[in-house]
Amino acid sequence: MYQVTFSDQSIAEINKLDKLAQLEIIDSFGSLTQEQLEGGLPNIGKIHREGRTFYRLRTGDYRIYFELLEEQQTLHAHYILQQHTLADFVFRFKLPFTEETMVEQQDNFWKYLESLKK
């Protein structure tokens, strides 16, 4: 069993959810074993970016992008993203991923773009 840590983005995303959804995400992520990561599960994928290996855990409507820090026996969640979003697509297909990509997920961003058309 691994220790589990969360980035600021992933904690912020979890805090937006209701308690039951929070528990489902934390349970599915926190109960991963080394055998599951090595052997693979249908809901776990691997992504190699900039010399690092990220795992993607699909749980419900969310995707958890995390890294295994072996020397600390820790799973560190870098991002928790909703499925079928621009941010999820960008990260999964190794496109440049910045904090600006996260801003695009906010409704206000899209409303602002729509207001420019008028």
Where does residue 10 rank: exposed (0-12), middle (13-18), buried (19+ CB within 10 A)? buried
Tens digits of residue pLDDT in 32-84: 888 888 876 778 888 787 788 888 888 888 888 899 998 888 999 988 887 76
pLDDT at 85: 65
Evaluate whether 87 touches 79 at the Cβ level (below 8 Å).
Answer: yes
pLDDT for residue 103 is more than 90: no
Tens digits of residue pLDDT in 55-69: 888 888 888 889 999
Give the count of alpha carbons within 13 A of 1, CB side only.
4
What does pLDDT average to over the chain? 76
Query: Out of 3.40.190.150, 3.30.2310.20, 3.40.50.720, 3.40.430.10, which CATH number does the structure's domain 3-117 have?
Result: 3.30.2310.20
Q: How far is residue 111's CA from residue 9's CA, in Å, rounded to a whole number?
A: 22
